[in-house]
Structure 1
Amino acid sequence: MVIILALLLPLVPMPRPVPAKMHAAMPAVVDVTTSSEVHREPRGRIEQSAREETLPPIPAKKITERLDRYLRGRPGPVTAMVKELETGRVYRYRPRERLITASTAKVQILMALLLDTPWKKLPAAVRHDADVMIRYSDNHAADRLWLRIGGAAGFTRAGEKLGLKHTQGVPGDCLDLYCWGITRTSVEDQIRLMQALVSGKSPLGAKDREQVLGLMGRVVDGQEWGISAATCRGERAALKNGWLRRVSTKRWATISVGLIRGDGRDYAVAVLTEGSPEVWHGIATVEGVTERIMRDFRKCSE
């Protein structure tokens, strides 16, 4: 398609960054519910409820001012969101922006695949493609799975099942053109996608959610940058990053989405940027934004 060719270069291999600490795979989260007939809660649950009641509200204005100062002089649009899933505390930065997913779309491709066929029933070659698509960000594996889920139509249908509202697959003959990479999305949708990986109400089964989180928790050395920069000691990150250079502007889109988990809490995090002159500049922006938001959700112990 001429329009698509004008929009982007093929996704290029990621240069190897300075290695950071690896994050181990994370177990699935089991949702806990209490019966309305039970009048006395376990002690641990009462203590947890009391702790949540004492949590301070998120200072949205202060965070926005902090981000505005940090992003002044850094080119291109930025949108971000963090949600503490247990308490519902949330912060949004420029949520009306609609930016491209780049390789973060690979998480939705995998979830679409598993909505149709559970992991244990997939052929070995397909499971291998899923593994290298997430852990190595392999584009050819993503192309094959994109076709397997039915391309743009299957991608969009899966998004609707998962509760997404602003993410539509790009139609056309996109083999080797990475149509999935120029999918526009919102941070709200990316947070919904992360919630669907830990919620018992997700249309995705528990074992399949665990499989996706396991792959996101074991991305290869050199691709664990992004939201992981904001983890405290004892926390772990399950993430998928994306990077794409536009043909028209020669500028980079740099994205990181995932979960920060620890101390009994899950934080769904999404940071999308475009317009960086170099990919490393975009990575620094993503990490700087994440760190400046997360410091008001909890304090890291020394």
Structure 2
Amino acid sequence: MARKTNPINRRRLILGGGTIAGMTAFATVTPKAQANTQQPLVSTIETSSNGRFADKILLITGATSGIGEATARAFAKERAIVHFCGRREALGEQVAQSIRSTGGQTTYQRADVRNEQDMRSLVETCVAKYGRIDIAFNNAGIESKPLTVAEQSLEGWMNVMTTNATGTFLSMKYEIPVMLKQGNGVIINNASVSGHVGFATIAPYSASKHAIMSLTKVAALEYANKNIRINSISPGAVDTPMLRRALAAWKTDFETVAQEYPIKRIVQVDEIAKTVLWLSSADPTCIIGTDIDVTGGYLTK
């Protein structure tokens, strides 16, 4: 299909690290069609000899692939103890085993961020096992099928809003009391470039990410004087398995999409993970209620 009739552009491709609900065609894309024109994914996380996060407890949602998985691996390399969730149990156990095989400490728990009991259980299990939660990365999220507002179904709208916005709310609802009790903590929410600007055909996703940014600001103000730092990050197009499937499905490539971004390339998951590590470290002590642009300059245009 000609590039001009089937583009991946600003309104189509604000994908971050989630999955696209309803786009079943992605599941049939062959591995060859998913080939990346950049270098294959490799870990670029630099770890210190002592481990910046030695014995810190990290709770992360949606870490069975993409940004979440890369961040879990990055923290484990820095000797953090990682407790993570995701709905895909087999994949979750696979990721956990892979991290442990390289010397990392991690446990996987199946949990659906849309379910309040699941989120309560996720936090309670983490605390029961490890005693505290030093850092929480609320990353889980999904995308919806591109449709105009009038074409969106209520079911599709609710699924995206409940997963992304309500899931982030429920995560913080149960994480914050733990951090209040222990006297400190760091929370980072995964927002999106589409939480800053509107993009046609992705109303549920865009609205949910705007909501996450608002939740982040409100919570940050409420707990700033309680030694809890709450911020968010906003990725654009990131090289995840979901993005590769999307590119193949829309018959485009990394180079075409990269032209939308000032850095003229697609951001790698390890780059996002590094930002989360930095925000979680002892360095940015006065950064509170801020959203970090990790798009590669898109939001500066």
Whether TM-score is above 0.5 comes out as no
Higher relative CO (Cα under 8 Å, sequence separation at least 6) belongs to 1
Which structure has the highest helix share of the two? 2
Q: TM-score, normalised by structure 1?
A: 0.30
